[in-house]
Structure 1
Amino acid sequence: MQTASFYCNKMGFEPVAYQGLETGCRDVVSHVVKQGKIFFVFQSALNPGNKEMGEYAVNHGDGAKDIAFTVEDCDFIVEKARQRGAVIVKDPYVLEDKCGWVKLAVIQTYGDTTHTLVERTDYKGLFLPGFKAPFFTDPTLAKMPTVKLDFIDHVVGNQPDNEMVPVVEWYRKNLLFHRFWSVDDKQMQTEFSALRSIVVANYEETVKMPINEPAMGKRKSQIQEYVDYNGGPGVQHIAMNTSDIITAIRNLKERGMEFMTVPDTYYQQLREKLKFSKVKITENLDTLQELKILVDYDDDGYLLQIFTKPVQDRPTLFLEVIQRHNHQGFGAGNFKSLFQALEADQNARGNLTVLTPNGISEKL
């Protein structure tokens, strides 16, 4: 409940559904919050000895355990994935109540992360069968500035070194995703660290999943720090799309949300580079600088993005707010600025350590 309250108070979500002891669920409590088309479900074990949730919490801490996809034919996708060798955690099953029925299945992907497939033809309920209206209300939420995050733009998964391509191939083989975008460590590097990234997407390109891995650098990269503290691969960040990032970030900061920052020299350099660009940024650059919103662009368009601090104690999961103007990239032009900000936080945590050629981290 505390985490759901944090996302409502700090991020502008609203509570929409609940499942727990009061609804007849004896094992797990679930709080569902919503903003635009974004649904987050926060779950906790109700009883001692819940091995699945207990082991996940010990190994990974708080994080994104499951990424759900809406599908049209759950049975077909599961059967095809099974034939191709995917691990099916839960075979298709139906939940039903007076509002209709929903079919679900669960497939294992990288690490302990799963995908729930949700077929919800004409279901009229709040969220899923078995969920009721939330029991907790906060009268202050209506008085706070609205954020207007619209939908999930992409979800990034971090992998240990040399595991990115096998994960990409898993998505291509089992879910028939395709490569949408990629960069290597020659493009994505700072003085200290580097990464490689491949984005996979579904056929309609409505679902995009960047898959990252660290590359060898002078010091431990933020990707490797994530893998170390997460106990293996997992979801690094969730990007939420908005049509008005300036209002969104102003209001998020007014609500007390904390974001990574970049130095003013970033905007000085940006202004100089934009003098030679075909693209014109319609937003006021002084305002973007004030709010520390990053800009990436090519000849066709641009995007605006900003990243939160980690949203739990471990330096693992964080969030992104993004606005696109005819630009389908993922901020490659901002990598250096972003990683320098991340490296400053790493250094404060004592984790910007020197890497030896065999990958072992040594403190300075």
Structure 2
Amino acid sequence: MFESPQTPSRFDELTLNHVELYVTDLATARTAFADQYGGHHLADHESADGAHRSTALGIGRTVLVLTQGLSADHPASLFVRARGDGVADLALRTDRVREAHASALAHGARDRGAPVEENGAIRATIQVFGDVRHTFVTPPPGTEGHWVPGFGSLPSSPGSTTGLTGADHFAVCLDAGSLDEVVRFYRTALGFERTFSERIVVGSQAMDSHVVQNTARDVTLTLLEPDITAAPGQIDRFLKDNDGSGIQHVAFATEDIVRATAVLRERGVEFLSTPGAYYDRLTERITLERHGLAELRAAHVLADEDHGGQLFQIFTRSTHPHNTLFYEVVERCGATTFGSGNIKALYEAVETGQSADRPR
């Protein structure tokens, strides 16, 4: 499926500016992303009122901002008390902040910050699902490279030491009954395109999925909704443990997933394991081109293909206290969407990992 925006896109220039996570302890989170995922320290910032402090890290082309609330009523403090550490803001860069903000509100988004101009920069914030926000950002005129509110211009991040090249997509778990509404919002308010749809049935469980992307293809949201008429599964558990909709995982891209996973394991990242039977059947449905069966089996990497080519992916074991947020590593070899085999494999892999983690 490929569906263009329901109205002509007025925001073709809209791109990912940065990803912000609210964290309980900034030093701990910064060390984890730096030591395990190879995040390169770019800058630090503390608000003038002492309400929060943040660190900006570079993972490939993506700027990751980690923020700890220092006052009880700061949004970061409220977020982590309710949900623990998590993705709180997918900030979007656009030359037309005011127009984007107005369009979002007109199509049902909640206002979390009217447009503000300061030193030539403009920002505004909305909320679409759960406690996750989009901050629209226009940097000061003449700004080149990364610019983040509070930090200003950031230095370029050097080459990755782990092989991660930046964010590939964000998986969003939505409350039952809200999927169509959220898809409609991104298409009509921000001009995203729906590029894939899928219904996944795994045993007695089921969920529906739509993928929406911006024109630049650097913001990809995999939107997931549980089927409440089926048995509860991982999406239902996330919604319960997260107290509602939110970002379940962030996928990082790599150009060599076998090498990247080996480096990440050496740095202490734990991945979900895949049953051997998966690899016994793999070559019956795919003629592997980039990686051999033996190295995929040894690395526990999943493989699938679509009309454009093949993709390989693996999921980390969640270290979150609520067993919610986790990460993915994905290598695309021509594949541009999410084949049904891999979406089902994602669901089954997470089911296997979370079942093993639950007390017996």
Q: TM-score, normalised by structure 1?
A: 0.83
1:293 matched to 2:301: yes
Instruction: Give the superposition deviation at 1:133.
Output: 11
Q: Which has the larger radius of gyration?
A: 1
Give yes or no for contact 1:198–1:212 (8 Å, CA) kept in 2: yes
How far apart are 1:65 and its partner, in Å?
0.9
* 1:122 lines up with 2:142 in the alignment: yes
Superposed counterparts of 1:125-204, under 5 Å = 127-128=147-148, 130-131=150-151, 146-184=161-199, 188-204=200-216
> Residues 205 and 128 from structure 1, CA distance in 2 versus in 1: closer, same or farther, beyond 3 angstroms?
closer
Q: Deviations over 1:125-154 (max 9, x none)?
A: 8743643899xxxxxxx9xx9212112111
**CA–CA distance in structure 1, aligned partners of residues 163 and 300 of structure 2:** 19
Q: Cα 1:346–1:245, aligned 2, differ >3 Å: closer, same or farther? A: closer
Question: Distance between the aligned counterparts of 1:350 and 1:219, measured in 2?
Answer: 17
Distance in 2 (CA, whole Å) between partners of 1:130 and 1:111 is 24
Q: Corresponding residue for 1:253?
A: 265
Q: Distance in 2 between matches of 1:329 and 1:78?
A: 29
Identity %: 29
Q: Tell me how far 1:270 sits from its aligned partner.
A: 0.6
Report the residue type matching 1:310 in the other structure.
S
Report the Cα distance in structure 2 between the residues aligned to 1:89 and 1:310, rounded to whole angstroms.
29
Equivalent position of 1:337 in the other structure: 345
Distance 2:314 2:344 in 1: 14
Mark the CA change 1:94 to 1:296 in structure 2 (over 3 Å): closer, same or farther.
same
Determine whether 1:109 maps to 2:121: no
Q: Which residue of 2 aligns with 1:94?
A: 117
Which residue of structure 2 aligns with residue 8 of structure 1? 34
CA contact (8 A) 1:19 1:31 kept: yes
- Is 1:322 the counterpart of 2:330 in the alignment? yes
2:253 aligns to what?
A: 241
1:152-187 C-alpha deviation (Å, 9 max, x unpaired):
111111012222111111212221222110101xxx
Number of residues paired by the alignment? 329
Q: Distance in 1 between matches of 2:289 and 2:118?
A: 48
Match of residue 63 from structure 2 = 39
| Cα distance in structure 2, aligned partners of 1:56 and 1:298 | 38
CA shift for structure 1 position 304 = 0.8
Residue identity in the other structure for 1:131: F
Aligned AA (2:34): C
Structure 1 329/85 Cα, relative in aligned 2: closer, same or farther at 3 Å? closer
The equivalent position to 2:239 in structure 1, one of 215, 227, 239, is 227
Match of 2:99 among 43, 63, 76: 76
Cα–Cα, structure 1 residues 222 and 107, in superposed 2: closer, same or farther, change >3 Å?
same
Deviation at 1:231, TM superposition (A): 0.0
CA distance in 2, matches of 1:79, 1:35: 32
Matched, 1:215 2:223: no
Cα distance between partner residues in 2 of 1:239 and 1:68: 16
Name the CA shift for 1:190/1:217 in 2 (closer, same or farther; >3 Å).
farther
Q: In 2, Cα distance between the equivalents of 1:238 and 1:306?
A: 12
Structure 2: which amino acid aligns with 1:102?
A
Query: In proportion to residue count, which structure has more strand?
Result: 2
- Corresponding residue number in structure 2 for 1:273: 285
Q: CA contact under 8 A between 2:61 and 2:166: conserved in structure 1?
A: yes
